[in-house]
Amino acid sequence: MRRIGILTGGGDCPGINAVIRAVAKTAINDYGWEVFGIEDGYLGLIENRFRRLTYEDVSGILTLGGTILGTSNKTNPFAQPTKFKKRIVFRDFSRRCLNNFEKMKLESLVCIGGDGTLRIAYKFFEKGVPVIGIPKTIDNDVWGTDQTFGFDSAVLNATEAIDKLHTTAQSHHRVMIVEVMGRYAGWLALCSGIAGGGDIILIPEIPFSIEKVCEKVKERSRRGKRFSIVVVAEGAYPQGGKMVVQRIVKDSPDPIRLGGIGNFVAKQIEDRTEIECRVTVLGHLLRGGGPSAFDRILATRFGEYAVRLIKKGNFGEMVVLQGREIGSLSLAEAVSRIKKIPPTHHLLKVALAMGTSLGV
Ligand code: F6P
């Protein structure tokens, strides 16, 4: 009987449990394989923490947010941040992981994660581990797939928040600034901004001019629209300026956490237009809760397809959505870059056609 391992790494997002369920059910139902969940991402692989996932374990988790396996965004087995004499040093635990993989008697490993997790998955593949990747993140920034699961749910969460801010913005004649996550890509801001009818959308791919932002607010005011909604990505920054770093997580392989640009934009607008502003940072609310119907379906399709790839022996691949079809791509290609919004992307034109300003 084949034994497959599964782990979830990096920041969580809605739909992870749906993927775990889909992998386990397909493996158990269609092939009679055994499935083992590795706890807390790669940390469980370093520490040899894993448990068998039975059919009952994965039943009833489709709609559940988070991950039943736990995750870690502070683990990189190839350069693990470790405290040594009050300092952080980076140690290579990859050999230990390979030994544990053998001890667990696993024959393949499904790694569910964003670009960081997938990059590590690729390194293990290069070391001989039969790996399959599944792209997960609210940022939608994984190269090679039209969409990651988790993104649609986050867009929905952001859109609902924007809708609510709209009504209070109207009543108080205020400018509401909504800061959304997304790291170095503006997908979440752009899509929720369009869905929520944002008046100004600011994304990292297009450094903004604060003058243009204020012009838009004033122009709306002149036309009798005494409120505005600004959707700003955490990675957006002014022309000639820099991204705002909220904190450095020293013991994280990717230590930069963005955040704070919303306050900067609010201060600038208030100073230049004298219109009252309020800032709402949606933060981790975007990642919480259960998956949307779209994400449930996408996660289920991804999980099912990952098992088919294992069956065919197509390791070193990541499942992808291309158009309406599920397929796969080499992990080497998938981790070669991150997916940002290209300048010619149709959604940018759509936003502009709606009269939305992109701050330029
Ligand atoms: O990658 C997902 C994400 O939510 C980003 O959008 C955000 O920048 C980051 O993770 C936040 O990380 P943490 O959970 O460590 O605060």
Domain containing residue 312: CATH number: 3.40.50.450
What local confidence, expressed as pLDDT, does residue 349 receive?
Answer: 98
What local confidence, expressed as pLDDT, does residue 76 receive?
Answer: 95
Is any ligand 1 atom within 6 A of the Cβ of residue 136?
no
Segments in the chain below pLDDT 50: none
Distance CA 203, CA 237 (A): 8
Query: Which residues are catalytic, by number?
Result: 139
Return the residue whose CA atom lies nearest to atom 11 of ligand 1. Answer: 257
Q: 186 and 207 share a domain?
A: yes
Q: In which region does residue 224 sit, left (phi positive, over 0), alpha (psi from -120 to 50) or beta (all else)?
A: left
Give the domain range for residue 82.
3-149+291-334
Ligand 1 atom nearest to 234, measured from its CA = 8
Among 287, 321, 347, the domain-final residue is: 287
Q: 210 and 308 share a domain?
A: no
Is any ligand 1 atom within 6 A of the Cβ of residue 138?
yes
Is any ligand 1 atom within 6 A of the Cβ of residue 181?
yes
348 is a domain residue = no
Q: 11 and 111 share a domain?
A: yes
Ligand 1 center to residue 295 CA distance, Å? 19
Ligand 1 atom nearest to 181, measured from its CA = 6
Q: 144 and 161 share a domain?
A: no
What local confidence, expressed as pLDDT, does residue 19 receive?
Answer: 98
Question: Residue 29 corresponds to which amino acid?
Answer: N
Q: 267 and 295 share a domain?
A: no
Q: Is the dihedral of CA 107, 111, 115, 120 positive or negative?
A: negative
Q: 181 and 278 share a domain?
A: yes
What per-residue string of b and e applies to 293-315 under the rule 16 or more CB within 10 Å gives b? ebbbebbbbbbbbbbbbbeeeeb
Q: 54 and 31 share a domain?
A: yes
80 is a domain residue = yes
Ligand 1: which of 74, 75, 139 to mutate, judged by most atoms within 8 Å of the beta carbon? 139
354 is a domain residue = no
Return the residue whose CA atom lies nearest to atom 14 of ligand 1. Answer: 11
What local confidence, expressed as pLDDT, does residue 252 receive?
Answer: 87
Q: 132 and 72 share a domain?
A: yes
Cα-Cα-Cα-Cα torsion 339, 112, 46, 107, nearest 10 degrees, comes to: -120
| 262 touches 211 (CB < 8 A) | no
> What is the separation, in whole angstroms, between the first and last Cα of the chain?
59
What local confidence, expressed as pLDDT, does residue 1 receive?
Answer: 73
Ligand 1: which of 183, 192, 247, 254 to mutate, judged by most atoms within 8 Å of the beta carbon? 183
Return the residue whose CA atom lies nearest to atom 16 of ligand 1. Answer: 257
19: closest CA among 316, 326, 330, 331? 326
63 is a domain residue = yes
Ligand 1 atom nearest to 73, measured from its CA = 15
Among 287, 302, 320, the domain-final residue is: 287
What is the CATH number for 254? 3.40.50.460
| 138 touches 12 (CB < 8 A) | no
Split into its structural domains, the chain has a count of 2
Q: 92 and 203 share a domain?
A: no
